[in-house]
Structure 1
Amino acid sequence: MYETKTIKEKIRLLIVVMWPILVTQVGMYAMNFIDTTMSGQAGANDLAGVAIGSSLWVPILTGITGILIALTPILSQKIGAEKADDVGYYVIQGIYLSIAISIVVVILGIFLLEPILGLMALTPEVAHIAKHYLIGLVLGIIPLFVYTVFRCFMDSLGQTRVTMFITLLALPVNFIFNYALIFGNFGFPQLGGIGAGYASAITYWFILGVTIYFTKNVRPFVQYRLFQVLYPLKLRTWKEILVIGLPIGLTIFFETSIFSAVTLLMSQFSTEIIAAHQAALNFASILYMIPLSIAFTLTIAVGFELGAKRMKDVKQYSYIGMVISILMGLFACVFIYVLREPAASLYSNDPEVLVLIQHFLIYAIFFQLSDAINTPIQGILRGYKDVNIPFVMAFISFWIIGLPFGFISANYTPLGPFGYWLGLIVSLGVCASFLAWRLFVVQRKFSLKIDTEH
């Protein structure tokens, strides 16, 4: 990042920083997309099993990523304030923390996975695929979250093209190992949907290896000498990261876990409905990467300008980012409507599943605009390090309002499984309204604070 003077320069810089983040996010999500679509070609049970496994994994993945994302505003503000000596120290502490969190997740999984799957009305085949898909995937959990720390470091420097390049390198690796392990090619065993988990784990190790190479050998990362100083573990710094990161992680967890909760509640319906729901959600989630990427970009820009105490620039970046996000949200609505039929055919050959996917995608159109408002505001507020109130707002919106509304609609109206999607639409709309109000309050508070200091 660097200081900009005009609106035109800000738009250009936002786009330069954002588009590699978008490619990276789409690329990371494409791994889940590849898992889901290729498993669907192996059979409805494989698609449903991977759907259930993903529903358990994605809230954990996004929640922990949210915790570690706390490093982005911390590092951005350090860089904006020209405190380069602190950067390497925080990165190493983040790596220690990511390893510790990964170990905790694995231990919890050992004890909780079987009981959770046992609570669901799954066929033995689907439950078996879901369990072993997750066992394979968890072999890559440590490299995935260590990479997340490195990515925060790279993105904070505005070097988003590097993380994009690493992700693009990883995609063919993921595809090849999916092709080998799901269908039994190149002499590998035919594992069906289970193979997708092992393919993802292998890909995560590949990503970490390439990332370490870049941080050790490529400028501007080399100047921070991440591996030349062995900093001791400092719980005080962990606490500093967690004070910001836990509310961020829980906010993202509450948003993503409601989608997973809906998938789990849908286990009362047929395997075809579960498969169609997951396929539609998987496709719509690719478009969610657009507002999410804008949010990450705004966190970097807002954090950088706040570190330099340039409030006018903070507000301008915020408004520009929101306009871009809303325009892209409108584009996503049209995109889903026009391509819902060919999109469905990517996931299944079953005529019943194809029709159901298209119906679910119609509902997905209605929460695109809410996401386009909700998600970038979260990114702006993270740049301010304002994370506690948004966390409470997310919890109320998704779990107190949205999920009960969806449950009632699904079980006590003719909507059936589509009632849960109506609940998702309501929760996202409520959250967007709450966060818009919170942004107004925070901007006014910080403007007064800066004016007082001057």
Structure 2
Amino acid sequence: MVKNIYWQELKGTLALGLPLIFTQLLGQAQQVIDTVMAGQHDALTLSAVSIASQMFALVYLLMIGIGVAISATISRYHGKNDRIHIRRSFQQSVWLMFFLTILAFMLICLSAFVPDLIGSEENIAREAKKYLLTLAPCGAILILSMAPRFFLEGMAFPRPNIIIQLWLLPLNVFLNWAFLSGWSIFPALGAQGMAIATAICYLLYTVLIFTQLFRDVHWRSLRLFRHFSPPQMVQMSALLRIGIPISLAIIMEAALFFSIGLIVSRSNVINTGANQIALNFSSLIFMVPLGLSSALTVRVSNAIGRQDLMTTRIRSISGIALSAGLMLCSAIMMLLFGDYIANFYSDDAQIIPIAEGILGVVAIFQIFDGIQVSAAGVLRGMHDTKIAMIYAFIGYWLLGFPLGLFFAYVLGYGIYGLWSGIACGLFVNATLGTRRVWQKIKPNH
């Protein structure tokens, strides 16, 4: 009987998780496309796009925690069938993301000057700056799209997001190709051209997802855009209280990877390119447990909204176990086919063996990464977000980053030592996160 209950909840998590995984993969696919096409252009373009895209990702991830808070809040009210608070929460989320769009624009522009400040190679810094300043307006507008996107996730209805991203993906490929090397009326702009292509897709995505939500008959009964309430600090503050710790926890992990990238960029374009290949592919695989984590946030929050503690427990345990199993399969694949993966990204004979070696290290920590992000998804569904932020600081910055520097420069393992430090940080965070989840869901809690 118990096994049947676990199996039913596991299928429910997969039913929501698979579309969310696909959504995450589509979002990451644009970054993969940029990396592959930049790598086929030349090493300078690959390195510049690598640094610039990581800069933008830091700003985006700083805001995405608020989006996750929107999803968790909407899902809990959905579990209670509280239509009034669903509408109010959505409207306040639009206002909040509008204000954060302004902040994001300023941060993206400021980030364009970071490569110069940290001493990146002159050519890389110049091209990265062009990329970020070109992307800034539409990159900031993308932040506004988090309100409808995470509303749909909170209502367990991700299909519109998938359709829009599927439509934009081939457009992104074409625009990248046209602006990268030049075609017909399109000038050859290199890395800056890829920024233009990405900016166009971001703008279209934001317009389309708002339009879809406004016109879709599914949401007419909620009257999401009628009698639009003015900004209310109480409700926006509630979203920020949940979302800021999520953002900080996410940014601590992302900043760890980004710092490794900046350190590597001080060496040469070969190491920078190899590092970007490993980072890009590991980020692509990470979309699987990240999608499951989003599903767990929604399903756990929904169960708590219905005050169903048994279902909360079962969904938490089965979801974390599923994520660990999938990432074990991923680790085996990366160990067996690392050379093929590196060859897919680049044909540079110097980059390939270094990237293959890094992928071997990445394969080991993928399992820990899957466990920690799923545990974090459960805790977000419980609105227990501050502790995850503390765990991230301990695992990534008190242990992971110092160990990476020690392995790289004291023990002499170089770029492989830096990534080994990340693995240690992820292991600690996974251990602390699962322990916290068990404390929250154990029967005598």
Q: Would the TM-score normalized by the shorter structure come out above 0.5?
A: yes
**8 Å contact from structure 2 (residues 104, 140) kept in 1:** no
Matching of residue 351 in structure 1 with residue 364 in structure 2: no
CA distance in 2, matches of 1:272, 1:92: 48
* Amino acid paired to 1:148: M
Partner of 1:51: 50
**8 Å contact from structure 2 (residues 108, 132) kept in 1:** no
TM-score (norm 1): 0.94
Structure 1 residues 306-359: Cα deviation after superposition (integer angstroms, max 9, x where no partner): 000000001111111112111101111122123222211222221001111111
**8 Å contact from structure 2 (residues 116, 122) kept in 1:** no
CA distance in 2, matches of 1:286, 1:57: 17
Matching of residue 391 in structure 1 with residue 392 in structure 2: no
**8 Å contact from structure 1 (residues 214, 221) kept in 2:** no
Matching of residue 27 in structure 1 with residue 26 in structure 2: yes
Structure 2 portions without partners, runs of 5+: none
Q: For 1:234-273, list aligned pairs within 5 A.
A: 234-273=232-271
Partner of 2:100: 101
CA distance in 2, matches of 1:371, 1:384: 20
Pairwise CA distance, 1:405:
0.7
* Amino acid paired to 2:276: Q
CA 1:286/1:108 → structure 2, altered by over 3 Å: closer, same or farther?
closer
CA 1:333/1:169 → structure 2, altered by over 3 Å: closer, same or farther?
same
Q: Equivalent of 1:287, from 261, 271, 285?
A: 285
Pairwise CA distance, 1:436:
1.3
Structure 1 residues 26-53: Cα deviation after superposition (integer angstroms, max 9, x where no partner): 0001111111111111100110111111
Q: Could you tell me the percent identity over the aligned residues?
A: 26
List structure 1 segments (4+ residues) > 4 angstroms apart after TM superposition: none
Structure 1 residues 124-158: Cα deviation after superposition (integer angstroms, max 9, x where no partner): 22111111111222222243122211111111111
TM-score (norm 2): 0.96
**8 Å contact from structure 2 (residues 335, 359) kept in 1:** yes
Partner of 2:88: 89
CA 1:412/1:306 → structure 2, altered by over 3 Å: closer, same or farther?
same
Pairwise CA distance, 1:112:
5.2
CA distance in 1, matches of 2:163, 2:333: 26
Structure 1 residues 378-415: Cα deviation after superposition (integer angstroms, max 9, x where no partner): 00000000001110110111011110110111111221
CA 1:285/1:253 → structure 2, altered by over 3 Å: closer, same or farther?
same
- Range 79-88 or range 177-186, more displaced: 177-186
Partner of 1:182: 180
Pairwise CA distance, 1:93:
1.3
**8 Å contact from structure 1 (residues 21, 163) kept in 2:** no
CA distance in 2, matches of 1:81, 1:112: 42
* Amino acid paired to 1:141: G
* Amino acid paired to 1:178: N
CA 1:222/1:179 → structure 2, altered by over 3 Å: closer, same or farther?
farther
**8 Å contact from structure 1 (residues 67, 247) kept in 2:** no
Pairwise CA distance, 1:207:
1.2
SS in 1 for 2:217: coil
**8 Å contact from structure 1 (residues 263, 278) kept in 2:** yes
Q: For 1:56-135, list aligned pairs within 5 A.
A: 56-111=55-110, 113-114=112-113, 116-135=114-133
CA distance in 1, matches of 2:303, 2:191: 46
Partner of 2:36: 37
* Amino acid paired to 1:385: H
Pairwise CA distance, 1:444:
4.1
Q: Equivalent of 1:227, from 225, 228, 244?
A: 225
CA distance in 2, matches of 1:285, 1:6: 32
Q: Equivalent of 2:375, from 374, 377, 381?
A: 377
**8 Å contact from structure 2 (residues 71, 153) kept in 1:** yes
- Range 215-224 or range 266-275, more displaced: 215-224
Q: How many residues align?
A: 442
SS in 1 for 2:279: helix
Pairwise CA distance, 1:111:
4.3
Pairwise CA distance, 1:215:
0.8
Structure 1 residues 252-271: Cα deviation after superposition (integer angstroms, max 9, x where no partner): 00011100011011123211
Q: For 1:196-235, list aligned pairs within 5 A.
A: 196-235=194-233
Partner of 2:420: 422
